[in-house]
Amino acid sequence: MTAQKQADQASSRSTTATTAVTTTQAGRKPWKRKTPVEIMLDQIDKIREGVAEKEEELKQAKRQLQKLEEARKILEST
């Protein structure tokens, strides 16, 4: 009886594994090797995006600092 259960479990596992493999193969694009130029351009784009995000964070930090300094001047004057 245990041999039957093990055989049933093994067959069910293999069918789910094969269905998962066939669905992912059909949905994926074929792999295309990038040239060194494409790799460099991608890196440049990523760094540009990072710099833009950091510049925006810096602008927000400067605004917050300016508001706090104005508050400090008001508190020191009283």
**In this predicted model, what pLDDT tens digit does every residue of 42-67 receive, in sequence order?**
999 999 999 999 999 999 999 999 99
The 10s digit of each residue's pLDDT in 9-29 is 555 555 555 555 555 567 888
Task: Give the pLDDT confidence score for residue 11 in this predicted structure.
Answer: 56
Task: Give the pLDDT confidence score for residue 6 in this predicted structure.
Answer: 61
| Beta carbons within 8 Å of 34's beta carbon, 6+ residues apart | 42
Nearest 5°: the CA angle 26, 29, 35 is 155
- What's the pLDDT band for 68 if we cut at 50, 70, 90? very high
What is the C-alpha to C-alpha distance for residues 42 and 62, in angstroms, rounded to an integer?
A: 30
Tokens at 17, concatenated: 């594994």
Predicted confidence (pLDDT) at residue 75 exceeds the cutoff of 80: yes
For the chain, give every domain's residue range: 34-78
38 exposure class (CB count in 10 Å sphere: 0-12, 13-18, 19+): exposed
